[in-house]
A and B are shown apart, each in its own frame.
Chain A
């Protein structure tokens, strides 16, 4: 993996943890809690240190990676008038939200489960600013604007100042560059503080290995107090081993509406986590007709590409995934079992045979015969189901010991009475897709 989104709450927790080190000239309260139900919020309010939940008026919103919560009507900041939300109102609102599915304007669909609750911060629009940083090409870019909130996205070009910061730039030069490129319309009384905060913000983003970090709006209150009203953050998770202490306990939630992994996908992802090899499975359409069991990441992509291109109908493609990095026979069998089981659950509505692509490029060092042993064992178990539902199998593979692998699997298919065509490196890697579809047309 690489860049992964984290919850607003976790992002703010990282800010809070390092505030003194990076933002010593500013104040930040970190009054935020993350809950999954109204009851959890009520309980939290009785804990020491969270008295503010009862004492102040609140704002509540889902904390599940998606944006535009205001436009989706999912920010609770008023009961009767803005800024009057009590603990009890927030708690019942949360309970109401989790009781039914929600469809966002983007079409994402799911049930809300995580909410961030913070004090309501009265402020004027003039106090709102925008700041973010990310990587563009090989450089970092710092974005700043004197307009915060949703409005900044309209008229981005005019409103936002960009500062491109090369990877190897020294701190002193970065300070100078940010200062020289600060928004020209900063009010005189806030100018120095904003620039200073922007420089701190960039160092924080850089040193903590964020891939993307955005505060919008950033509210500059009196006495150098900063309010982070909304935060979006992605971390470079490859730096995780360096950041164990600095990030603390971090969770990478899946995108809203995507949480419902099937039990089969979950089982493969669990097996992947335990193995030195790589096992990946995404079910695209459980009713799909063309199933793939492909070795190698690059090959799995070109098989998917070719099936979509040649079948003319992407919904034919049932799954996407790969097994690679030298899985053991047992791991390969488990992977094959999972796919074969899914494939034989439904008959094709039009009564056509299903197509199983056992594909792969020419391996660098994986022993093909060895990995095929696991597939053969699985074929033996599923042969009857294959015949019941109708499956045509196309195999293509190269690499160490491929001749034996192809011979073994073909012999097994013949013995089990399964339809199988077998090809080696003399046949183009994806050409079995064309062959399988051409067969179909006849």
Chain B
């Protein structure tokens, strides 16, 4: 891995830190990335399925997941984890992510103050699995022109000023995050910007140290020279000296350790980070600066002279032809005023010449010669796909089957009573629709849910009956008032016939029929009824169309099954309402003799 990130790198962001994520997306837009650099967000306590962000002036939706594992499963190509968990949770997040074998190449940890022993365990576990940990206690890393982590580089304005929008020729490694921007700025003013930059983090134990990053940069062809900004404390700089001495690193290194002030004070003053405290002379900034200069690094006389040193090294490499002049790319600007939308629509659009259903103009679906039927339009507007013929035919079959069931059922009755009270079509229809629920028309949902459960868990019909008995509810979709094995429901017979001729397979219907054998052996009328048949067949259809269980679960939760019944039954209700209007029947009053009056007599 010679480059830390490329323009195709995508990350999973742990914790929905909206402002940091937005800054990444603004960067993506500015450098004209095709894909957003965030594939998904892990938000363990959020119930939402996505969050909205700007990509340029447009809004995009980024999916939310409850766990890293789920996000990783959905985005196997996202090989960077940006861990914005707190110092309490960051360790667990890293350990879980490392266990997802092969998923993450790089994990960035922003939390400061993770217990040292935990930091060491997590850093070692990552090393053992070949995962690069950046941090803890870091603002991250950047590969200019390709990928930027969270807030590193600051505002877009500063990013462009510091030429962090495109690849330069310096490899920059700092401990401090606060000085990272400063160094990028200095490098852009005195040279041609950076090719890759990492702030390794300020805690005592960080995952990737100077040497890890510099060795990678040594093999990165974009990097022509390196800058190391170290700190008082620790001995990591000596590993770099060893690598230079042994020839593992050949590119020029400009180096400086901050904290030379510490030599003036005996003890008690902590200059800088937790990791910044010299336990021995060789850990002082001064000793390290001297050792690096002796090893042939370019070491300025003081921090204030760093710009001149950079300029000199750069000009030298330019003169030698190692570095070429860079032509500045154009920069895509983001307008200052962006408005977040309150509503989102993913199915139709009325803004163009002609309104469209999922991009298809209405005129292309409306007439018979278009080849689109009502079921096609339903599948497009309800499920954002055009279903194959057999599935469309099934949807229409369902609608026709449930369209009406006579005037006596409660919904139709309510619609009729309302119409007779002089109300208009829409009021009467609503009166009828409002009765649809758990007792009227609701069996489809539950039949789908429970038969799917039994089938998926390999419950034998007997086990399924026991399971339902334990649930304490009658089996939804089983039983009919009149129809029985000997007096079969012909609607079901024709549905079954249609399915056997058209469905590629119907395992859950077959399972439900096995269950029916069991129930009808107890009582003749405990047949799989129309609701049950439709419910299980919907699941069979969706499985056949390639939806996964989570998606089917979402359909059931959203009430899509019930929606077929509602839509179909509207046809019947409207029929009954029009019937009433035609007949002009008077206001309905229920007869006294049909009501049992048993009124409590209170004192007054």
Binding site for B on A (CB under 8 A): 1-3, 135, 137-138, 166-168, 206, 209, 211, 236, 238-239, 241-242, 254-255, 258, 282, 284, 296-302, 304-310, 314, 317, 320, 324, 361-365, 398-400, 425-426, 428-431, 433-434
Contact = CB atoms under 8 A, between A and B. Distances in A.
Contact of B261 (A239, A296, A304, A363): A304
Interface residues of B, number: 63
A209 B117 CA distance: 7
Contacts of B161: 425
Contact of A305 (B113, B265, B267, B302): B302
Given A138-B123, A255-B268, A365-B19, A299 B182 contact: yes
Contacts of A363: 154, 181
B185 A425 contact: yes
Interface stretch (B171-179, B329-337, B369-377, B432-440): B171-179
A276 to B, nearest CB: 13
B116 A239 contact: yes
B282 to A, nearest CB: 13
A138 B179 contact: no
A300 B269 CA distance: 13
B258 A238 contact: no
Contacts of A206: 117
Q: Which of A209, A211, A239, A297 has the most CB of B within 10 A?
A: A297
B128 A168 contact: yes
Contacts of B274: 1-2, 238
Given A298-B258, A308-B264, A399-B158, A320 B271 contact: yes
Nearest to A280: B270
Contacts of B304: 306, 309-310, 428, 430-431, 433-434
Contact of A365 (B123, B154, B258): B154
A297 B116 contact: no
Nearest to B205: A138
Contact of B179 (A167, A299, A324, A433): A299
Nearest to A428: B307
Nearest to A400: B155
Interface string B300-325: 01111011000000000000000000
B206 to A, nearest CB: 11
Contact of B260 (A238, A241, A309): A309
Contacts of A238: 87, 113-116, 274
Given A302-B258, A309-B304, A364-B177, A211 B189 contact: no
Given A298-B272, A306-B304, A399-B155, A364 B139 contact: yes
B306 to A, nearest CB: 8
B121 A398 contact: no
Interface in B195-220: 202-205
A135 B235 CA distance: 13
Contact of A425 (B115, B158, B178, B302): B158
A362 B185 contact: yes
Nearest to A432: B304
11 contacts: A138-B123, A166-B124, A168-B124, A258-B268, A301-B259, A301-B272, A301-B276, A305-B302, A306-B304, A425-B161, A429-B186
Contacts of A433: 304
Complex A-B, nearest 3 residue pairs according to Cβ-Cβ distance, in ascending order = A298-B176, A239-B115, A298-B179
B176 A297 contact: yes
A302 B256 CA distance: 11
Given A138-B120, A299-B179, A430-B304, 14 more contacts: A1-B270, A2-B116, A2-B203, A2-B275, A138-B205, A236-B116, A238-B115, A297-B178, A298-B182, A302-B258, A309-B260, A363-B181, A365-B155, A430-B303
B116 A308 contact: no
A284 B269 contact: yes
Contacts of A299: 178-179, 182
Nearest to A243: B115
A202 to B, nearest CB: 13
Contacts of A309: 260, 301-304
B182 A429 contact: yes
B379 interface: no
A109 to B, nearest CB: 12
A317 B582 CA distance: 99
B125 interface: yes
A3 B276 CA distance: 12
Q: Which of A301, A306, A400 has the most CB of B within 10 A?
A: A301
A242 B118 CA distance: 11
A138 B285 CA distance: 21
B178 A298 contact: yes
Contacts of B162: 362
A209 B154 contact: no
Given A306-B303, A362-B154, A320 B269 contact: yes
Contacts of A282: 269
B410 interface: no
Given A362-B181, A363-B154, A305 B269 contact: no
B151 interface: yes
A211 B116 contact: yes
A304 B267 contact: no
A425 B434 CA distance: 66
Contacts of B270: 1
Contacts of A304: 261, 271
Contacts of A434: 304
Contact of A310 (B205, B265, B302): B302
B88 interface: yes
B154 A308 contact: no
A175 to B, nearest CB: 19
Contacts of B123: 138
Nearest to B161: A425
Given A2-B204, A304-B261, A308-B261, A168 B121 contact: yes
B258 A305 contact: yes
Interface in B148-174: 151-155, 158, 161-162, 174
A105 B191 CA distance: 52
A424 to B, nearest CB: 10
Nearest to A360: B178
A306 B302 contact: yes
